[in-house]
Structure 1
């Protein structure tokens, strides 16, 4: 780790590019006008938010401030207000139950909880359950509980003559505690430092063409690393602008991408976002000509999906990252996106990787192992959880939990989650390979493959399928299709039809729920 100083990005751009756009709301919550700020205005609002947190609630260096909100510009403002105070920002997944959030908030122990009015009643209960001292609610239609402060009133009342200036922080100081999705157990609070945010911006710039002219379209949830750190925070580092969509809607997203006045150049989505946009009737008529970088991550992408977007002139830049890696680890260039389709690419410039077998030894070319990574973009550990930190990090190498293989050119493919792999008759089966095959079959709108216990084979596969409207398809057709294209041990032994697959807020399929069902 280094002692490199951390700097105030917003204050810098307010000085260098005061009249350039910083960020703006798209389709704000009813009852709220939404926020659109130049860098000068953003600097002023961030300063007032920091003053409110400091003067009204006693927030100082190292204190935590929790955010319980859907996407809106104020979400970003509070993050940078925390940075200006040396406080630590804790974004919360608003889709979790009160019981799940109780655990996270109690673990983080924030001084203030900042909330969306739509979530006001839940926020009030959460503050009560966790003994959080203060509740601040944004403007808009919804609940503004007793004993809560109004965010806009607090900004207006802040003393403009004593706005905070960032203290002397270093790259080692924590910026954010971001709790993992908890798909395999209780959430863990990954510490993200100022340095991690900086190095992630630098790593992304090379292959994703980030610059001060970029217009980032953020439709992933900001509580997730994909929304906040790809490309919202990097756009802020470079002085570009970000357009914030409250919740993802595929038709509305295509409309905004086509709008020349919006001028969208960059966005990151997970496979589900691209799948739903690609299935929308407006996909073929959308104008994608202004796009500079369309990146895909969060889960392995099926080849038919990549080909669908390539056909409209948008090669999807596959990338791999995690909350714990701030997040970029691997990425592919646009020039190689087609030639190396299916690969997550090469290590970012400032990141090292290994692919390690179960014996802890690096595997050979083409062999499958667990991906490990190391560098200045890697978390120093988990908040209040030294045991999880020790389990996840070995001599600075983070165990990603993802099964990967590298080709002779060093390009890495994420085969599947290491724990999603199942063993059938002694053979390893990686569900993403079977899923990619099934997406070639007409009539399958969405699919997930899971391993289920079997007395004879140990485990066997089950395909959980969402049918395309108006297309008849049955289990026999699906199984026979797989038999023609896959080794016998990879062919699902059964098929289950559902109306929709359970997903978390970022679109990842919750395979644990499918197995429990």
Structure 2
């Protein structure tokens, strides 16, 4: 089959138009495909072929994209690995994926135990580029590992039907044309970066610029120089941007819109970002298991603050009660997703797959509700729900109340084990630079706006919240540090 997200297909359509750039250079569609053909020839000589997996352990740079397209040219797949992983972490993913080779930055970089190809040794020219194999819709394309926020990381199998559908649907939804230009700032080991910032624009003949590393102090310099029409980021990045000194007044006129996803964001951060920088911010929602996005507010049209928009085209969202029946309008329940972007399954884990995808419906583990217009409002993760003396408490509700206090930049609420009540809510808050927050005043604010059972037993003002590699607040890490804090207090 011929897919529009493959490099040779795009080169045939867009030729010498600019395609992709990073901190080291830029390439047209023809030049990109030439690099892909050269590296594919090198991989073929090494014995890489259909059904094989290539581990790519690189920071954000164009070679990661070249490696992905080269593996696909030969009928293989890639598993992108966080380059900040230790050898132990890399070995776990590379070993589980069965990767035949690993691309690394140097001999001392983690390789996961696979035979390595150094990035500087990747072939860039050849007279013998292999012809692209005829990949099928169910050929594995990407093996993306979950962050492990709900347990041991699992390999999410995404095939070419998934990647083709997601990049096409997202491109349609955000109305990409050849005049668009994405600025990629999220890590390329995450499916959001691959789908929203690389494949969606490239298949439309648009450009992508890869930022090697995100820095809030230099980010707007890059925006003013590159003049992108959009970028996709996580709430933490927007929090860092709105925390910049007031004298930072960038030119953001090139930006048609910006995307916020990967984790819930407070209404206050959305409003502050839009007011300060003039962002047309569209919030979306999805999972790796759904190939990135399943709901998104429109770029043009009705944008409902506090929702993540309606279901994307070709996808369906249901809200179900614990007994499996459909919830009413505005009634919370588990979010279920169906459509062409639902994963093939978890690699080597049929039990987890069977629990997650049932009769074609992806069970997300998220609690949400649909309004009368079909816009999805997220409530919380089912596993993050706190049960205090038999009362169900959703941390996101408490976090939203805390985020409304002047000076609060981020807030996270977790359940702390309690011998009498089972669990009690505990809050951790980060202040804006220069802001002063009083912990008891924050609790009093919660008493004013929340039922007594939902008021945190403690509010801790901290310098930073733990984050996972994608930038989401890590509730498991926060629970660990809170357990240590609670144990220390008991010992005093």
Q: TM-score range by the shorter chain?
A: over 0.9
Give the aligned partner of residue 134 of structure 2. Answer: 168
Give the aligned partner of residue 333 of structure 1. Answer: 298
State the SS of the aligned residue for 2:362.
strand
State the SS of the aligned residue for 1:364.
coil
Partner of residue 74 from structure 2, selected from 69, 74, 85:
85
Task: Assess, with a 3 A threshold, how the Cα gap between structure 1 residues 346 and 325 changes in structure 2: closer, same or farther.
Answer: same
Is contact 2:243–2:432 with CA below 8 Å preserved after alignment?
Answer: no
Is contact 1:502–1:510 with CA below 8 Å preserved after alignment?
Answer: yes
2:109 paired with 1:122: yes
Give the aligned partner of residue 97 of structure 1. Answer: 86
Distance 2:384 2:410 in 1: 18
Give the aligned partner of residue 118 of structure 2. Answer: 137
Task: Assess, with a 3 A threshold, how the Cα gap between structure 1 residues 310 and 471 changes in structure 2: closer, same or farther.
Answer: closer
Distance 1:198 1:13 in 2: 13
Give the aligned partner of residue 333 of structure 2. Answer: 369
Partner of residue 437 from structure 1, selected from 401, 417, 421:
401
Distance 1:501 1:493 in 2: 19
Q: Aligned-residue CA RMSD in angstroms?
A: 1.7
Distance 1:283 1:379 in 2: 45
State the SS of the aligned residue for 1:123.
coil
2:217 paired with 1:251: yes
2:479 paired with 1:515: yes
Partner of residue 113 from structure 1, selected from 77, 102, 108:
102
Partner of residue 19 from structure 1, selected from 13, 16, 25:
16
Task: Assess, with a 3 A threshold, how the Cα gap between structure 1 residues 8 and 201 changes in structure 2: closer, same or farther.
Answer: closer
2:154 paired with 1:188: yes
Give the aligned partner of residue 146 of structure 1. Answer: none
Distance 1:249 1:470 in 2: 20
Question: What's the TM-score once normalised by structure 1's chain length?
Answer: 0.89
Is contact 2:273–2:279 with CA below 8 Å preserved after alignment?
Answer: yes
Shift of 1:207: 3.0
Distance 2:133 2:140 in 1: 13
2:393 paired with 1:404: no
Give the aligned partner of residue 145 of structure 1. Answer: none
Give the aligned partner of residue 41 of structure 1. Answer: 31
Distance 1:274 1:95 in 2: 22
| Unmatched runs of 5 consecutive residues or more in structure 2 | 482-492
2:22 paired with 1:53: no
Give the aligned partner of residue 76 of structure 1. Answer: 65
- Structure 1 residues 79-100: Cα deviation after superposition (integer angstroms, max 9, x where no partner): 0011111111110122333222
Shift of 1:383: 1.2
Distance 1:283 1:51 in 2: 51
2:182 paired with 1:238: no
Is contact 1:277–1:283 with CA below 8 Å preserved after alignment?
Answer: no
Shift of 1:290: 1.4
Distance 2:201 2:376 in 1: 26
Is contact 2:171–2:201 with CA below 8 Å preserved after alignment?
Answer: no
* Paired residues, number: 480
| Unmatched runs of 5 consecutive residues or more in structure 1 | 27-33, 140-149
User: Mean alpha-carbon deviation: is it higher for 437-446 or for 244-253?
Assistant: 437-446
Question: What's the TM-score once normalised by structure 2's chain length?
Answer: 0.94
